[in-house]
Amino acid sequence: MTLATLGLYGLGTMGSALALNIAEKGFGLHVANRTDDRIPEFMDEAGELADRLTGHDDLAAMAKAMPAPRAIILMVPAGAPVDGSIAELLPHLAPGDTIIDAGNADFNETRRRTAELEARGFAFIGMGVSGGEDGARHGPSMMVGGTRASWEGIRPVIEAIAAKFDGAPCADHFGPDGAGHFIKTVHNGIEYAEMQLIAELYGLMREGAGMAPAAIGARFGDWNAGPLKSYLVEITAEVLAATDRTGIPAVDAIVDAAGQKGTGRWTVIEALKLGQSASAIEAAVAGRAWSADRIGRAAGAALFAPERGAVDLPADTLAEALLAARIVDHSQGFSVLAAASDAFAWDLDMARIAEVWRAGCIIRSALLDDISAAFRDGAPHGHLAFAPAIAETLKSVLPALRRTVSAATASGHPVPALSASLAWFDTMIQARGTAALIQAQRDFFGRHGFDRVDGGAGRHGPWWG
């Protein structure tokens, strides 16, 4: 397979970092940016690596200068800029060339773009890239969707620039069209849930136990040495230890309204469309939306003057609660992936997904090592939490989650993601739940019918005579 000539368009933070990573691994790369004055500046930043980089004034000039077959990576904001870049590129491409969208795209758009481009003889790859600026520069985790042939054309480059776990690249091809972007979206959904869970525990320690940020940071630091080891726990420890230039804890200098670009919300939307529920992720998206409603919260605080009680749980209890809820949010994420895999006939390799998330990406963690092993041992499709090794851990830490949620809610501390995780668990271990009543109600008001437990005939209740 001929290695394609590589180009990269969009030298923002992530694009620049990825371009330098590619050049550092020994590959030649053509680069262009929306504004051409960025090129000389970028060449300066590249230092010795500039020898492997060829700058162009614009996207069309870059495409024209590149020998075919070309593979052009777009590092532009999701949505219209991707379509605009593709439209600009097309007149200068030849059949067999590949366009790679390496941003956080809605996988529905990736599927549309793939169909449009493949119909014209071009290849389109939707590639999820995780790890922030540092990851892009020194080794991101990458989730690729597209044809196998187009993957083979860029594979040596992608594997060379990827993060490595035990020497193996944290990048792979997972399926056609939108598969890579879908996996990245679910990665981000899990990222949202993990961040929300950490923030809820921070809140309990701060407001419930009256601990100072630095002391809480030290606790997260301790946790990072055990089963909770993860990039997000590690950076939480660092953030909470930091002091702002005004002398107060850095976290106290920040407005408590969380931003979001949409990937967490997309996970929830797609989960619901697939008949799933990723309730821990939904709680995290809701938590961000509620946080952004500062005027509403201020009015609520003034009206209800909440008095929050003390919650002083042992550190081990809080740590176990976090681990239990993390197992649930990962389990929900993998259920969504399993449902999408079935719905789109992607045949996703769950073990491989967990493996490429073990290094480079934002949710990398010790738990993902266990999850990878669980999938390799044949974890049930769509039910990660019930894989023997994972279920054993969950059994041991679940009481701490229950204790934490009980204490928090009894004292007025909001813990939406912890609560959602516990509710999911309590529901999923009920062989017979309460939905029979819902079926009866549906039949009562709308003759919707139901299945009988004895398998017998008759789909309506006695209320219909």
CB of 204 to ligand 6PG, least distance (A): 22
Number of Cβ within 10 Å of residue 119's Cβ equals 8
Note if 191 is an active site residue: yes
Burial of 304 (C-beta count, 10 Å sphere; 0-12/13-18/19+): exposed
Which CB atom, from 30 or from 358, has the smaller least distance to ligand 6PG? 358
- Residue with structure tokens 């008001």? 445
Question: Angle at the Cα of 407 (from 404 to 408), degrees rounded to 5?
Answer: 80
CA–CA gap between residue 280 and residue 420 (Å, rounded): 5
| Given the residues 152, 184, 194, 238, the one annotated as active site | 184
CB of 295 to ligand 6PG, least distance (A): 22
CA–CA gap between residue 129 and residue 172 (Å, rounded): 11
Q: Are 112 and 129 in contact (CB under 8 A)?
A: no
First to last CA, the chain: 71
Residues whose CB is less than 8 angstroms from the CB of residue 435 and which lie 6 or more positions away in sequence, other chains included: none
Which CB atom, from 191 or from 320, has the smaller least distance to ligand 6PG? 191
Burial of 128 (C-beta count, 10 Å sphere; 0-12/13-18/19+): buried
Which CB atom, from 17 or from 418, has the smaller least distance to ligand 6PG? 17
Helix H or strand E segment including 382: none
Which CB atom, from 261 or from 447, has the smaller least distance to ligand 6PG? 261
Q: What are phi and psi of 380, to 5 degrees?
A: -60, 140
CB of 357 to ligand 6PG, least distance (A): 10
State which of positions 109-168 bind ligand 6PG (CB under 6 A).
Answer: 130-132
Q: Which of 18, 239, 214 is nearest to 135 (CA)?
A: 18
| Given the residues 24, 25, 191, 234, the one annotated as active site | 191
CB of 257 to ligand 6PG, least distance (A): 12
CB of 131 to ligand 6PG, least distance (A): 5
Binding track over 187-226 against ligand 6PG, x by CB under 6 A:
-x--x-----------------------------------
Note if 184 is an active site residue: yes
Q: Does 263 bind ligand 6PG (CB under 6 A)?
A: yes
CB of 133 to ligand 6PG, least distance (A): 9
Q: What is the DSSP string of 107-131?
A: HHHHHHHHHHHHHTT-EEEEEEEES
Which CB atom, from 193 or from 204, has the smaller least distance to ligand 6PG? 193
Which CB atom, from 61 or from 292, has the smaller least distance to ligand 6PG? 292
- Residue with structure tokens 């967990």? 354
Contact segment (CB under 6 A) with ligand 6PG among 175-183, 210-218, 253-261, 326-334 equals: 253-261
Residues serving a catalytic function are 184, 191
Binding footprint of ligand 6PG on the chain (CB under 6 A)? 104, 130-132, 188, 191, 259-261, 263, 361-362
